[in-house]
Amino acid sequence: MPKSVTGFSKLTKEEKINWIASNHFFNANEAIQTIKQYWNSDADLQQLHDEFIENTVSNFYLPLGVAPNFLINGKNHTIPMVIEESSVVAAASKSAKFWSTRGGFKATVLNSEKIGQVHFIFEGDAQKLNQFFKGIKSKFFAETESITKNMQKRGGGILDIELRDKTTELENYYQLQATFETKDSMGANFINSCLEQFAKTLKNEAEKHESFSSEEKNIEVIMSILSNYVPNCTVRVEVSCKVAELAEKNISDPSAFAQKFVQAVKIAEIEPFRAVTHNKGIMNGIDAVVLATGNDFRAVEAGVHAFASRTGKYSSLSHAKVENDIFTFWMEIPLALGTVGGLTSLHPLVKISLEMLGNPTAHELMEIVAVAGLAQNFAALRSLTTTGIQEGHMKMHLNNIINQFNVTDAERSAIKNHFKTNQVSHSAVVDYIESLKK
């Protein structure tokens, strides 16, 4: 069992590594060597990465891949993707190529409001609180002017503030719910700064409000924080073509394929056990681009899955139909993204990713990210309803299996040739390697 430590954050980087190695590993020298192996040889670049978070000891690499041939609103894109799962980039690329000759992806940002809340307890008359709020509402805007003036210059700012009575759900519980437009910034720090000022204004004004009793003057602010649930910050993406145009190598009967595809989506709409995996596939594409562009994939995940549950039952994010011999596959999804601030101006590869995408606005990035999700979902459903998901995935996963064993270049080549025509599984690869070794 490792020893506890006091003042760990004050240790130097070397001291942190030495403490970890000596307290957690049988072979301390080997652990230190592995940790340092992933340091960047450029000291300035390494320091930049060290300062992204706290208690940094090394870098944890994930592959940066690209998926070309995405035709979005008539414009071609090569999309950067950061992900460790094999077959995701290949699947996205295949979908992009498929739809590039069938009109491409259509994407539209529907709205871009973000939400923040001041959660507070008020023990008093709800009508008096409502009148009080109406009387001081303008002061919330006035007293955040120093925070919002630069955002207002860019066309953003506070859109509205409302008082919400939640006392039927929790005794004496109320909210100030504010909506914001943050333009190309994700806006978390901006929103939270505004909310904390709202809380101060609320308490200060309550303390001097004449019609409040002494108890009512004592509003207790519980917390002030933005929400990652953004149902009014959404983008719609879709693809469509004549059913006959779906024909390709593995789709000899496009009409049967379209009907089976639609049924597969309908199953995900009504069956939560399927919907979770279905939506995970969508997030394979979305998270990979969110990471590559320096955005917060955890916030995106939380908001998206809440959105998938908004009817009270977890359901598919994507939808499909065949009408008048036209196949349509679409999705509406909440995405709060930014292209300025945070890592976007610090991480060198984030800068490269954004430049690769043509330095998009936040709205354009919402469209691109959502398209990557829909493309990934199309690829997965096409595989599931035709050849099965494992055939393509395991062939892409073959390298990962091989890399677990000590094989020569000649053996690697022989293994790959063998599994061009044989089913890939971990046990099958192990058996074939053993046969080669003999």
Q: Which residues are catalytic?
A: 85, 280, 296, 393
Query: What gap in Å lies between CA 91 and CA 287, rounded to an integer?
Result: 15
- The residue type of 23 is N
Query: What gap in Å lies between CA 177 and CA 190, rounded to an integer?
Result: 15
End-to-end CA gap in the chain: 43
Query: What gap in Å lies between CA 283 and CA 299, rounded to an integer?
Result: 12
CA proximity to 330, closest of 316, 321, 317, 318 = 318
Q: Hey, how many other C-beta atoms are within 10 angstroms of the C-beta on 424?
A: 20
Region of residue 316 (phi > 0: left; psi between -120 and 50: alpha; otherwise: beta): beta
Strand partners, 248: 251
Task: Provide CB contacts within 8 A for 70, sequence distance 6+.
Answer: 76, 77, 78, 79, 96, 100, 104, 105, 368, 371, 372, 375
Label residue 176 exposed, middle or buried (CB < 10 Å: 0-12, 13-18, 19+).
Answer: buried
Region of residue 187 (phi > 0: left; psi between -120 and 50: alpha; otherwise: beta): left
Strand partners, 121: 173, 220
Structure tokens, 35: 């940790």
Beta strand spans in 171-300 (E): 173-181, 220-226, 234-242
CA proximity to 36, closest of 52, 16, 53 = 16
Structure tokens, 150: 């630069």
Task: Provide CB contacts within 8 A for 36, sequence distance 6+.
Answer: 17, 58
Query: What gap in Å lies between CA 96 and CA 104, rounded to an integer?
Result: 8
Q: Residue 221 in contact with residue 195, Cβ under 8 Å?
A: no
Degrees to nearest 5, angle at CA 29 with 59 and 34: 25
